[in-house]
Structure 1
Amino acid sequence: MTEQDGPAAPGRDHHTSTVEQGRFCLARCTCGWRGPARRARSLARADAEGHTRATAADTR
Structure 2
Amino acid sequence: MSDRVSDRLPVEPSAAHLTSTSERGSFCSARCTCGWRGPARRARSLARDDAASHEAEAGRA
TM value normalised by structure 2: 0.83
Work out whether 1:39 is the aligned partner of 2:39.
Answer: no
How large is the Cα RMSD of the aligned pairs? Answer: 0.9
- Structure 2 gaps of 5+ residues are none
Structure possessing the higher relative contact order (Cα contacts under 8 Å, 6 or more residues apart) = 1
User: How many pairs were matched up?
Assistant: 54
Identity %: 57
Note the 1:1-60 alignment, pairs <5 A.
Answer: 1=5, 2-7=7-12, 8=15, 13-58=16-61
Give 1:46 deviation, angstroms.
0.0
TM value normalised by structure 1: 0.84
